[in-house]
Amino acid sequence: MTTSTKTSLRKLENFALGKWTSGEGEGQTLYNAITGDAFASASSKGLDFAKMCDYARTVGGPKLRKMTFQERGRMLKELAIYLQSKKDIFYKISWATGATKADSWVDIEGGIGNLFSYASLRRQFPNESFCVEGEVARLSKQNTFIGHHICVPKEGVAIHINAFNFPVWGMLEKVAVNWFAGVPAIVKPATITSFLTEAVVREIITSGILPEGALQLICGSANGILDHVINQDIVTFTGSASTGKMLKAHPRLLEEAVPFTMEADSLNCCVLGSDVTPDKPEFDIFIKEVVREITTKAGQKCTAVRRIIVPENRIEEVRTALGKRLASNIIGDPNVEGVRMGSLAGQAQLKEVKEKVEQLSKSQKIIIGDFEKFEVKGADKYKGAFMPPIIFLNENPFKNTDCHNIEAFGPVSTIMPYKNIEEAIQLAKMGKGSLVSSIITADDKIAKQYVLGAASMHGRILILNSDCAKESTGHGSPMPMLVHGGPGRAGGGEEMGGKRGVFHYLQRTAIQGSPTTITNITNQYQIGAKYRLGATHPFKHYFEELQVGETLITKTHTVSEDDIINFAELSGDKFYAHLQPDSLEGTIFKRTVAHGYFVLSRAAGLFVDPPKGPVLLNYGLDECRFTKPIYPGMTIGVRFTCKEKIENDKPLAAANGTEVKVGIVKWVVDIYDASSEEIRKKYDVDVSMGDTVGIATILTMVKKKKQD
C-alpha cells in the first residue's frame, strides 16, 4: 500500500482527557474482514497515558463516588436504553469484523444486556455511595464492642485491555461493573476491531449520561500505560494466555500491588455422556451445541469448544453427525441471505490459525474440513479472512497431548474418545484450567460425578439435557450474574458474577466500635445500639421521615393455653410439643410450648398500628430465629426498630390505577421476655427480664411523602 493511499484512510479517534483526538502518524491500518479492503487506521501516538490516568482519578472518580448505588444503577439503565436505540448503527459496522447478524447479536445486545443486568442489581445495594458486607462480628461479652465490614469505591481507574473478538460486549461487560461500583474506566480494545468500539463510545459520550471522566478510549497501542498505575487502580485483561502472563508480570503491578484480572483463551471441552445414544434427544442437543460453538464468531470465542470428548463407542456416530451438519454450514458475506458463518477478524488471525492447525496436524488427523476445498458465498475467499471448520480426531489423547496445549483460535476442534466417566474427567482437566465445560447427559448421577470431578479446573460447567436445552443460553455464553473466568490456563480470575464482580472494584475495610457508632456510620441499625424513642408510632411516618434506629417499645401480652390451642386449630400445626404434654420426655421442653409462628404473629399484633397510614404492606421476611421457648403464663413484648431504609424506584400500582411511590424499610422485631421474676422461677425458665426470645427482620413498603 502506498503512503498516499494509507494517509487517505479514515483515522479512528481516541477519547482522552474529555476530547476526541487522533493519534499522531499513520498508525495501524485496519481492514474489512469480509472484503480485505483497507478502510481505516488507528494510532495512539502522542497520548499522555499518565495524564489520562490522573484525569480519570481526579475528575471521573470523585463524580462517580458521590453517586449512590441507586443513582449509578439508574445511570446504567438509562445508558442501556439509549444504546438500544442506536444498535442498528452498530450492526452495520459489526459486519466489517466478519460477524454474522447472530454473531453481532451476541456482541452488541449481549453487551447492552450487561448494562441492564447491573442496573437491576441496584436493588441489592443501599442508597449510599458505600455498602456493608456480611454479618456483624460480636467482639465483647456485653455487646458494647462490635466489628463489621464496609466497602467503599477504590479511588483509582479501571484499565480494561480487551481482545478483538467482542469489541462491544468485551467493553460493556466490564465497564457496567466498575461504573456501578463507582470507578471510572480507560478502555483499550484490540486495534483491529476497535472501529466498532469507537462507534459505541461515540454514542455513549454523545448521550451525556455519564459524568465527565467516567470513560476514556484508546484505539491504538496502549504500550506503556501500565507504567503509570497506582495501588488504587484495577487492571483487567482478556486475550491470549501468553500476553496475559507478560502483562501480569509488569514490575509496576507488583510494586503497587495492583489487582490484575486475567480472562484468557482456554481449551474448553464438551462431553457427551455415556448414557446418550443416537436415538435420544440429548444426542442431537450435543451435535447442535458443538456445531454452534465451532461456527459462532467463526470459532473466535474464548469460550468456544476446542475439545469434543466422546465415549469411544460413539466416535463414528458423532463424526458422521457433525460432518452432516457442518456440510450445510454456508460460509461467506454475512449480508448475503443464507450465510451462517462469516470470516475471521483479519488475515493476521487467519495466518495464526493456519499455523496452529499445522502444529496440531503433527499429532492428530483432520477428519472434517480442508483449507483449500471450501466454498464462500458472496465474497472472495482469498481476499477475505475466510476458513472452513476444521475437525480433528485424536484417537489417543492421553499420549498425543498437543490438543490439550495448543489452541487454534478459530473454527477448530478435536474429537477424542473416553472409556468411562473418570477418563472423561481426566481429559477435561488436561486442559490445565478452562473457562467453561459442558456435559450433555440425561443421567443426573453421571452429571453429578462429572461436575464434582471437573469443577476444580473450570470456571463454569453447563449441564444440558432435554429438560433445559430449549431455554439454555448455551455453552459459550457467560451470564452477567454468574462468574466468568477460570483457573490455571484460563487466567485464574473472575469477572461479572453479580455482586461478586462489584466487590472487585471496592475496598473492603473492617470497622470496629460501639453498636451505636457503627449504626451511625453504616446507616444500618446494629443490635445493641441506642434506640431513638419517639412519641409517635413509626408507622405514622412517611419513608423520608423515618430514621434508622427509631424504636417502638410495645405493650406486652401474656401467652395462655388457649392461645396455643386456638393457633393450632387455625394454622393446622398440631406438632406434639404444642399440644401433648405427655410426649415431652427426652426433649428440651419443660411443658407444652407456644408455636414460634404464634409468637411472631402475636408480636405483629403488638407492633402494628392499625389505622391507615404511610405503611402500605408487609413486603416479606428476611430472617427469623426463635431463640428461647415461650410457655403459657409467660409475657412477651417487642422492641421494634427501623433497621435500614432502601430506595425503590418502582412505583406500587394502586387498586384505582394510580401509581404510588414507595420505599422499602427493614425493621428489627426483637421479641423479649417481659415475664415477672415469679413466673420465671415458677417455670424454671432460662431467661432474664428483657432477654430476646425471638428475633426477625421484616420488610414493609412505606409511602413517600413526595409523590411528584
Please list, in sequence order, all residues whose beta carbon lies within 8 angstroms of the beta carbon of residue 297, skipping any fewer than 6 positions away.
Answer: 99, 103, 106, 107, 165, 166, 304
Q: 194-207 and 87-94 are packed helices; what angle lies between their axes, rounded to 10 degrees?
A: 170
Of 53, 219, 270, 302, catalytic? 302
By CB neighbour count within 10 A (0-12 exposed, 13-18 middle, 19+ buried), where does 88 fall?
exposed
Distance CA(362)–CA(360), nearest Å, equals: 5
State the amino acid at position 59 in one-letter form.
V
Residue among 506, 414, 415, 652 nearest 64 (CA): 506
Please give the helix or strand (H or E) that residue 449 lies within, else none: helix 444-454
Whether 642 sits among the annotated catalytic residues: the reply is no
Distance CA(370)–CA(354), nearest Å, equals: 11
Spacing of C-alpha 319 from chain mean position:
36
Tell me the sheet residues that pair with 464: 440
Residue among 172, 270, 159 nearest 216 (CA): 159
With cell 450487561, the residue in question is 114
Specify the DSSP class assigned to residue 651: P
Distance CA(116)–CA(614), nearest Å, equals: 31
Longest dimension (CA), the chain: 103
> Grid coordinates standing for 445?
448421577
Whether 263 sits among the annotated catalytic residues: the reply is yes
- CA angle (121 as vertex; 68, 520 as ends), nearest 5: 40
What's the order of all strands across the beta sheet hosting 146-153? Answer: 131-138, 146-153, 506-513
Of 13, 173, 198, 263, catalytic? 263
Phi and psi based region of residue 506 (left: phi greater than 0; alpha: psi -120 to 50; beta: remaining): beta
Strand 412-418 versus strand 305-311 pairing type: parallel
Neighbours of 653 (CB within 10 A): 10
Catalytic residues: 263, 302
